Amino acid sequence: MTSTIDPNTIGKPVRPRRHVRTLTGYLPEKDEEGRDKWPKGEEKVWKDGMRSLDKDVNDITRSFVNHVQTSLARQPYNIDDLGAYHAAALSTRDNLLVNWNDTQLTYTRKAPKRAYYLSLEFLMGRTLDNALLNLGLKDEYKQGVRKLGFNIEDILEQERDAGLGNGGLGRLAACYLDSSASQELPVWGYGLRYKYGIFQQLISPSGDQLEAPDPWLDNQNPWELPRLDVTYQIRFYGHADRLDDGTGRALWQGGQEVLAQAYDVMIPGYGTRSTNNLRLWESKPKRGFDLNSFNAGNYEGAVESSNSAQAITSVLYPNDHTWKGVEIEAAVVRVLVSGKGAMAYSVISFWTAASLADILRRFKNLNKHIREFPDYVAIQLNDTHPTLAIPELMRILIDEEDLSWDAAWSIVTNVFFYTNHTVLPEALEKWPVPLLEHVLPRHMQIIYDIVYLLPMKPRRAMLIQCAILAVEKKFPGDRDRLSRMSLIEEGIPKQVRMAHLACIGSRKVNGVAELHSELVRTTILKDFVEFEGISKFGNVTNGITPRRWLDQCNPELSALISKTLKLDKSVWLKDLTKLEGLLPFTEDKAFRDEWAAIKQRNKERLAHYVQTTLGLTIRTDAMFDVQIKRIHEYKRQTLNILGVIHRYFTLKNMSAEEKKKVNPRVVFFAGKAAPAYFIAKLTIRLIVNVARVINSDPDTKDYLQLYFLPDYSVSLAEVLIPASDISQHISTAGTEASGTSNMKFCLNGGLLLGTVDGANIEIAEEVGESNVFFFGHLTPAVEDLRYQHLYHPIPIEQKCPALAHVINQVAAGVFGDGHVYEPLLNTIRQSDYYLLTDDFDSYIAALAMVDEAYLDKDEWAKKSIRTTAKMGKFSSDRAINEYAESYWNIEPVIVEKA
C-alpha cells in the first residue's frame, strides 16, 4: 500500500483558511488569583537567564566579543572592520530585540488599535548609527569598540544601504516608521525583501548611465530576523468560479501558489523602549506545487515554473517612465506601466495578499468578531501601488469569511486610507484588464462587481457603494461624469484606474502638501469630491525625521544647537519647534561665525569624500549649489544644467576685472534615471560632458565647477545636504506633490531656490519669503501656457534668446556630439511640456539674486539660521501624529517591561 491523492483536489483552496498562531504574541495563563502562571520549567532559572539591555561599556564589549566568537566564528587575530561592523550590529540587534519583545507583548496585552503602513519602498539607509542613537548608546559603543581596537566611524562606514527603495516615496516611509516608534504609536510597516535593490549607477566614458546589479544582501543583513514560522500561500492565475447562491462568493482555484516568508526588521523609537516592526516578504516556491497548472507530466517545466516564484522579490521594480511592453512568464507577469514603478502584477498581489493575511491572523488572535476589524485595524496605502489590497480584502471577507457584500464593503471602506503622491496624469496607475484577468481572475471579478454589481440584488442600487448606479442617481444623465469616474477606462485594452479604486475603497484620502492636496481635490479627484463630499479629502504635509537628517548627518550643528538652546538634544529632536529658540542668536556675531564654520567643515568633508571616492579635487571656498533627486523631466534637472551652461558662457565673455567680482560656485548633481527613461539618461550624459568642458577650462574653472556624483543613496545625501549653501527644487509649478529633500536642506541651514510648488510654498510661509529664492510661473498659468505652446507657438529665439543660445551651442557640439542631444533639445523646441522656455529668464534672474545675497556672508548666515529655526513644522513626528489622530484613530502605547 501507499498513500494516494486525488488529482482533482490539487490546486484547490482549502476553505476556510485555518487560523494558526505564530511563535510570538502569546500571553501567560492566569492562576486562580489572576496572577501570571509561569509556562514551563523553573521560573527563577528562566528569569536569571533572560538578558536585559547592555548599557555599560563592559557589557557591550562582552557582547561584541561573544558575537565575534560565536556568530562570526572568528578570533581577534582575523577580525577586520567589516567583521567588527557585523559584531557591533548583532550586539546592537540583541538590545533591539529585548525592547522588541517587550513591545510586542505589551501590544498583545493591551490590544490597541494598530495601523499598518503598506509601501512598496522603504529607503531605510544605514541602520547601525540610527539604532545606537535611538537606544541612547552611541557614546558607550564608541568607547567599547575603541577598547577593542576599532574606530566607530570606520565601523559605520562598512554598512551598505538597504536596497529597498529608489526615491522620496521610500525615504518618507522610513521616516514615518521611525517617528511612529518614537511617538510610541503601534504602527507596523509591510514591504518586500528585494534581493537586488535599485541598480548601482555607473557612468561610462561617454557620460552615459550604466546600470549594474546591487546585490546588497551579499554580505548578509544583520538587522533582519527570518520568521520561518510566518508563511502564507499566495495564488496567481487559475480560474474563479462563482457560486450560484446569490452571495457573490466564488471559488478561486488552479494556477500557481507561491510561499511568502516573513523577515522582520526592528524599528526602534528615539528615547523610548517602543520598538516597532517592518515586515518584509520574500517569495519562495511551494514544494507541493500544482501539477494541474502546468503541462501534465512535464515535471521539468513544473519545477522550472515553481522555482521561478523566487523571482518575484528578486529585483526592485526597474522602470518608472513609460510603457515598454508586456512580458508574460509562468511565474512573473511584468507590465511596465506609467507611474512610480514598473508594476509586476504578481509582485503587488504577492505583497498585498501576504500582508493582509498576516494582519488578519493577528486580528484573529484577539478573538473578536470579523465585523470589529475596523475597530482594531487601520491600513495606510502609500500611493496607488498597494491598491490591490482593496479587492484582496473583499475576496477574503466574502470568499473565506462568508460575509455579505454589504458587510464586507463596509469593513473595507472603514479600514483603508489612501495617500496620493502625484497629480501627473502618467503617474496615476492604470492596469490592463486582460492581464489582470489572467493573473488575478478573482480580483478582476470583484472590481467589476464594485462597478456594475453583477451578483447583487436590486436593493443594492440604493447604496452609495453601487458605483455606476449611485453616480447616475446623484447626477442623472451626466454620461461624461460616469465615464470620468468609472473604475474601468474604455479602450484597447480596457484599463483599471487604480487611483479611482483607492479613492472609493478608502475612508479618507490625503495629499502631501497644501497645494498638492488642493490640486487633488480640484483636478484628478474633483468628481469624487463632488460625489462623496469634501470631508473625505484632507492634507498631511510630508515630514522628515530630525534624528537622521540633522543629528546623524550633521553632528556638529546638532551639538551647537543643544549648547545654544541649553537643551539636551533628546528634547528638541522630539519637538522640533524648539528650534525657534535660535532666532535671537541671529544677531550674535560669535554664534553666526560658529554656524558658518560648521558649514565650512561640512564642505570640506564633502570635498574629502569626492577626493577619496572619485579622485576629484573640489574647491571649498565657493558656494555649494546642490540638486539631488531622481532624474525626471518634471524635476527639471535640464533647466539647471542649461542654466549652468549659460553661466559658463557668461563667464567666458567677462573681462578679468569683471570675473574678480563673480561669486565662485560649485554645482553638484546626483540622482538616478530609470533604465528605460531615454530623455532622463540624456540629461545625465549632458551634465557629465558639460562638467568635462567647464572643469578643464582655464578661463572659468576658478569661478565655476560642476560635478555629477554617481550612485546616489541615502548615505551620499547625508554628506551632501549638510554641505549645501543653496539647494534647487525647481519642478514645473503644480507637478511636485511635496518633496522632502527641500526640508532636509533647509533643516541643515541650506537656503532654497525653487518654484512656487509643493512644500516649497509652506517652507517659505514658515521661514519667510526673504529667506528663499522663488522664480517661475505659478500653477494656475501652467495649462494656459501649454495650450499656447501647442496652438500658438513662438520660436525660442524670439521668446527666450538666452536659452536659444545655450541650446544652439549644445547642438553645435561644444559639449560633445551635438546630434546625440537632439531628442532632449527637441522636448524644449517642440512641445516644451515642462515650460523651460517660459521659466528660463526668471530662473537666471533668481540665480543672480542668490549670487548677490551670498556676497554678504554675514547676512547669508542670518538667513541660514532663520531657515533652520523655522523648520519645526516639517518633522515627521508632527506628520505621523496627524495620521494617528485625524485618520487612523490610534493612540500611543507605553511599553511595559515583560
Span 195-201, average pLDDT: 86
pLDDT confidence of 327, banded at 50, 70, 90? very low
The residues, any chain, with a CB within 8 Å of residue 269's CB and separated by 6 or more, are 134, 178, 180, 181, 182, 183, 184, 275, 276
Distances (CA, A) of 139 to 5, 56, 60, 91, 147: 62, 10, 11, 15, 13
Spatial separation of the C-alpha atoms in residues 412 and 406, rounded to whole Å? 10
Give residues with Cβ within 8 angstroms of 113, minimum separation 6: 186, 375, 376, 377, 378, 888, 889, 890, 891
pLDDT for residue 474? 73
> For residue 712, what are the contacts with CB-CB under 8 A and spacing of at least 6?
201, 628, 670, 671, 672
pLDDT tens-digit readout, 88-100: 999 999 999 999 9
Contact 672/631 with Cβ under 8 angstroms? yes
CA 762, 763, 769: angle at the middle one, nearest 5? 100
Which of 472-476's residues contact partners 24+ apart within 8 Å by CB, and which partners?
A: 474/531, 475/531
Q: Looking at the predicted structure, is the pLDDT value of residue 507 above 80?
A: yes
8 A C-beta contact, residue 815 and residue 865: no
- Say how far apart CA 883 and CA 898 lie, in whole Å: 29
Of the residues 521, 744, 870, 878, which is catalytic? 744
> pLDDT tens-digit profile of 351-369?
999 999 999 999 999 999 9
Residue 779 confidence class, pLDDT cut points 50, 70, 90? very high
pLDDT digits (tens, 9 = 90+) for 449-470: 888 764 444 433 333 345 566 7
Backbone angles phi, psi at 539, to 5 degrees: -140, 135
Q: Of 2-11, 68-77, 487-496, which range is least confident?
A: 2-11
Check if 459 is active-site. Answer: no
**Residue 50: band (very low, low, confident or very high) from pLDDT cuts 50, 70, 90:** confident
Is the pLDDT assigned to residue 326 strictly greater than 90? Answer: no
Q: How confident is the model at residue 306 (pLDDT cuts 50, 70, 90)?
A: low
Give residue 425's pLDDT band: very low, low, confident or very high (50, 70, 90): confident
Q: Please identify which of the residues 500, 569, 629, 873 carries the catalytic annotation.
A: 629
668: helix, strand or coil:
strand
List the catalytic residue out of 273, 507, 569, 635. Answer: 635
The region that residue 383 occupies, defined by phi over 0 for left and psi between -120 and 50 for alpha, beta otherwise, is left
Taking 90 as the threshold, does the pLDDT of residue 145 lie above it?
yes
The whole-number average pLDDT for the span 683-687 is 97
Check pLDDT > 60 for residue 577.
Answer: yes
- The verdict on whether 744 is a catalytic residue reads yes
20 confidence band (pLDDT: 50, 70, 90): low
Q: In DSSP terms, which residues pair with 511 in a beta bridge?
A: 539
Hey, is 36 helix, strand or coil?
strand
> 545, 735, 740, 779: which one is catalytic?
740
* pLDDT-based confidence at residue 38 (cuts at 50, 70, 90): confident
Q: What is the pLDDT of residue 347?
A: 86
Least confident of 35-39, 595-599, 893-897: 35-39
* For residues 108-122, average pLDDT: 95
Using a 10 angstrom Cβ sphere, with 0-12 exposed, 13-18 middle and 19 or more buried, the burial of residue 247 is middle
Confidence (pLDDT) at 12: 59
- What's residue 469's pLDDT? 64
- So what's the pLDDT on residue 321? 36
Name which of 563, 564, 569, 566 is nearest 550 in CA terms.
569
Strand, coil or helix: 790 = helix
Q: Please tell me the least confidently modeled range out of 74-88, 329-343, 406-420, 476-490.
A: 329-343
Which pLDDT score is estimated for 243? 87
- Confidence class for position 165, pLDDT limits 50, 70, 90: confident
pTM score over 0.85: yes
Let me know if 421 is a catalytic residue.
yes
- For 104, 465, 561, the CA distances from 833, given in Å and listed in that order, are 51, 38, 44
Question: pLDDT for 703-716, tens place per residue?
Answer: 999 999 999 999 99
Mean pLDDT of the chain: 88
Q: Is the pLDDT of residue 289 over 70?
A: no
Of 310-319, 536-545, 672-681, minimum mean pLDDT range: 310-319
- Among 443, 507, 569, 630, which one carries the catalytic annotation? 630
- Say whether pLDDT at 300 is over 60: no
pLDDT value at position 219?
Answer: 78
Lowest-pLDDT choice from 262-276, 478-492, 598-612, 614-628: 478-492
- The active-site residue out of 114, 421, 870, 873 is 421
Higher confidence at residue 318 or residue 97?
97
pLDDT of 772 reads: 97
User: Cα dihedral sign for 469, 475, 480, 486?
Assistant: negative
Q: Which of 278-282, 462-466, 507-511, 826-830 has the lowest mean pLDDT?
A: 462-466
User: In this prediction, what percent of the chain has a pLDDT beyond 70?
Assistant: 89
Can you read off the three cell numbers belonging to residue 58? 563592559
Q: Is the pLDDT of residue 393 over 70?
A: yes
Whether residue 114 has pLDDT greater than 70: yes
Q: What is the pLDDT of residue 329?
A: 29
CA–CA distance, 687 with 712 (Å, rounded to integer): 15
Residue 47: active-site member: no
Cβ 416 vs Cβ 390: under 8 Å: yes
Instruction: Report whether pLDDT(492) > 90.
Output: no
